[in-house]
Amino acid sequence: MDHSASTPAWQQDIFKILKAGDVRQIAYVPDAGHSHVIRSAIADPDIKDVVLTTEEEGVAVVSGAWLGGERAVLLMQSSGVGNCVNMFSLLQSAQFPFFTLVTMRGEYADFNPWQGPMGRATQGALELMGITVLRASDPDTVGEVVQAGFDAAFEAGDRVAVLLGQNLIGRKKWERK
């Protein structure tokens, strides 16, 4: 199926950066905001898509990929950051380069109050575990911010999360027709 007509340009920008940056593994727990990158990874013969049962697995998967000489990124929602906290120890203990894209929930017209607690704690939890946090909320600058974080991770060996603001996704439609 061709989704390009309905795919926001900022999501296309993200996949282009990962592809141009020679990412070979994309590990994820899905979210609507990651749907284009996940579809594109599945369709790309040079990229292995790794669906996870919980986000902390992804921290280990991308570290294993680096050990084996491949660049890998982790895609998750803000709720997943909470699931990762102890596994982030791996990144600091061995100074692994790390790049994750986090779609935010619980911060912008979210209908579901259960997303609030972890959404509000996401940036703090990442920073407590030694991960540098960047944020992209303007669709026109997503590409620039993602590229900056990607380069910090893979050119400078840093641990970086880019938070993708919930306003990029827009309001979730709860009523099905």
Q: Under the rule (CB under 8 A), what is the footprint of other proteins?
A: 24-25, 27, 48, 50-54, 56-70, 72, 86-87, 89-90, 93-97, 154-157
Q: Which is nearer to other proteins, 10 or 66 (CB)?
A: 66
Q: Tell the smallest beta-carbon distance from residue 167 to other proteins (Å).
A: 31
Q: From the CB of 109, what's the least distance to other proteins, in Å?
A: 32
- Write down the least CB distance from residue 93 to other proteins, Å: 4
In the bound state with other proteins, the residue whose beta carbon lies nearer, of 92 and 141, is 92
Q: Sheet containing 98-103: give its strands across.
A: 48-51, 23-28, 71-77, 98-103, 159-164, 132-136
Q: Please give the Cα distance from 106 to 79 (Å, whole number).
A: 9
Nearer to other proteins, 92 or 112 (CB): 92
Q: What's the min distance (Å) between Cβ of 95 and other proteins?
A: 5
Identity of the residue, 31 or 55, whose beta carbon is nearer to other proteins in the bound complex: 55
Q: In degrees, to the nearest 5, what angle opens at C-alpha 39 toward C-alphas 34 and 44?
A: 125
We find the least distance from the C-beta atom of residue 62 to other proteins, in angstroms, to be 6
Min CB(70)–other proteins separation in Å:
4
Is 2 or 46 the residue whose CB approaches other proteins more closely?
46
Residue 59 or 142: the one with the smaller Cβ distance to other proteins is: 59
